[in-house]
Amino acid sequence: MSKTKTILVVEDDPATADFLASGLEQEGYRVDRAADGPCGLERAQAGELDAIVLDRMLPGIDGLTLLETLRAQGCDTPVIILSAIGSTDERVRGLRAGSDDYLVKPFAMPELLARLEVVHRRRAGSPAVTTRLICEDLTLDLLTSRAERAGQVLLLQPRAIQLLEFLMRNQGQVVTRSMIFQKVWNYDFDPGTNVIDVYVSNLRKEIDRPGLVPLLRTVRGSGYRLGAAR
């Protein structure tokens, strides 16, 4: 017996949410609902979802920001964006933010169901690959190795990009010098040089430019942590 798939519907319009829930449940899906961005993000982060149907415009956190946050955290749950904005530019923005599909309102339920089937088949045969990492207003495009902070391009050498990627993939956590040597330099030992200190110092100068909230912090006696202070 196949497992019942769970779909999270993040939609602030009650009538549209009811329409979606009713149509999905009639097709045998289990439906969870969230009426704003923060609730949707919290539920999505809890996991155990087979897909997310995400409204583009939401109170609290808009749909694109919610999606970018999930992808930056490594969440690969299939996402279909629903939006009244149907311009080519907005569709591209949605896809680049990490959505698997983009459906313009008004839409027919059979089309949404068909698109859900497609993304499920696609994901079953080809695991999602993260191409963009985000930490607050810091972004790293893994395809182009282009890093930006607050919309400004960061000038980083290839090794610094590798270091930044490692820190962003572990954002919010303390990473030790040993971890950095192993993952960025491929060393299984500490060579006893100050190379990490130099790279971290240079990286910090680029990331935490004057006027910006510091993101890269030294944790005395432990290592480094990337992320805003909480």
* Tokens linked to 58: 């939401």
pLDDT score, position 162: 94
Name every residue whose Cβ is closer than 8 Å to that of residue 201 and which is 6 or more positions away in sequence: none
Nearest by Cα to 164 from 205, 194, 129? 205
pLDDT at 196: 92
Pick the CATH number of 6-124 from 3.40.190.10, 3.40.50.150, 3.20.20.70, 3.40.50.2300: 3.40.50.2300
Please give the pLDDT value at position 127: 58
pLDDT of residue 144: 80
Tell me, what's the pLDDT at 128? Answer: 57
Query: Does residue 106 have a cis peptide bond before it, meaning omega lies within 30 degrees of 0?
Result: yes
**Residue 148 · residue 138 · CB < 8 Å:** yes
Please give the angle made by the CA atoms of 149, 153 and 155, to the nearest 5 degrees. 110
Per-residue model confidence as pLDDT tens digits over 40-95: 999 998 878 999 999 999 999 999 999 988 888 888 899 999 988 877 778 878 88
Sequence letter at residue 94 = G
d(CA 33, CA 43): 9
Contacts of 91 (CB under 8 A, 6+ apart): 102
Q: Given this model, what pLDDT does residue 141 score?
A: 86
Q: Tell me if residue 203 falls in helix, strand or coil.
A: helix
User: Quick one: pLDDT at residue 1?
Assistant: 42
pLDDT value at residue 75: 85
State which residues of the chain have pLDDT below 50: 1
Spans of all domains in the chain: 6-124, 132-226
Q: Model pTM?
A: 0.56
- What pLDDT score does 126 carry? 59
- Say whether 79 sits in a helix, a strand or coil: strand
**pLDDT for the residue 18:** 95
Please state, as a whole number, how many other Cβ atoms lie within 10 Å of the Cβ of residue 8.
23
CA 163 vs CA 71, 103, 146, 189, 230: distances in Å: 19, 37, 13, 17, 23
Q: How far apart are CA 187 and CA 177, in angstroms?
A: 11
Reply yes or no on domain 132-226 having CATH 2.60.120.430: no
